Amino acid sequence: MNAASPDLVLYHAWGSSASRRVRFALEEKGVGWDGRALDLTAFEQHKPEYLKLNPNGFVPTLVHRGQPVIEASVICEYLDEVLPSPPLRPADPLGRAHVRVWAKWSDEVVIRAFQVCGWNRMMGPTAQKWSDAELEQRLAAVPVPDRREDWRRMAREPFNEREIGHAVANIRRTLERMEAALEAGPWLAGDAFSLADIHLSPYIVRMGELEPRGLKLADYPRSAAWWARLTARPAFARARIEPIKLAA
């Protein structure tokens, strides 16, 4: 992290994939930012003061000059507009469309797939300790119905093998799409590193979790070479995009 700036305050969690995308973008921009890390297992993201910034109770939230911006892919595009150098999107409209397609896929498919694959082990150990009364109290603080249902399931009805298998299939499809895209250039949107690469990075770092299910990054050679290029970028290390430790 560069020297903190009062103009850019990022509310985030170190293990949150969405937060990692924004941290990576900030570090690529080379600007100072002030980080406010939240403990998601302590439900700090559902406290009233945070909900005033982000009514969904999700991380990250970027506060720029006092104004909150939410949703990781939106924040990243916003940063590229207000801090245009170095650019993280292609100059041409078609290239920018390719970046948005990867952002949409990451938001709608990839993040959910990794949640289903990992949350039984990440969130389950915490949620399963709650009594029925504690569970209801926790759920009452969660503003988004879909996320409320996820927490209920972690506490009482974890994701089953069929659901996890479907999620693994979506991750396999993601790697297949990456292999096809990387035929055209070293980066997902062509010749230049972009937000498309940033959006996938917090998920590909977790591929080791899926090796017991027969899914290995090494089996996708273009994606493996892309990953080596991406992880060599200095901003990647500064953003702290690391494998997640899951319960056994």
- Give the chain's domains with CATH numbers: 8-82 (3.40.30.10), 93-233 (1.20.1050.10)
pLDDT tens-digit map of 120-157 = 998 999 999 999 999 999 999 999 999 999 999 999 99
Structure confidence at residue 5 (pLDDT): 65
Whole-number pLDDT of residue 41: 85
Cis, peptide link before residue 158, omega less than 30° from 0: no
User: pLDDT-based confidence at 3, cuts 50/70/90?
Assistant: low
For residue 245, pLDDT beyond 90: no
Side by side, the strands of the sheet bearing 8-12 are 34-37, 8-12, 61-64, 67-70
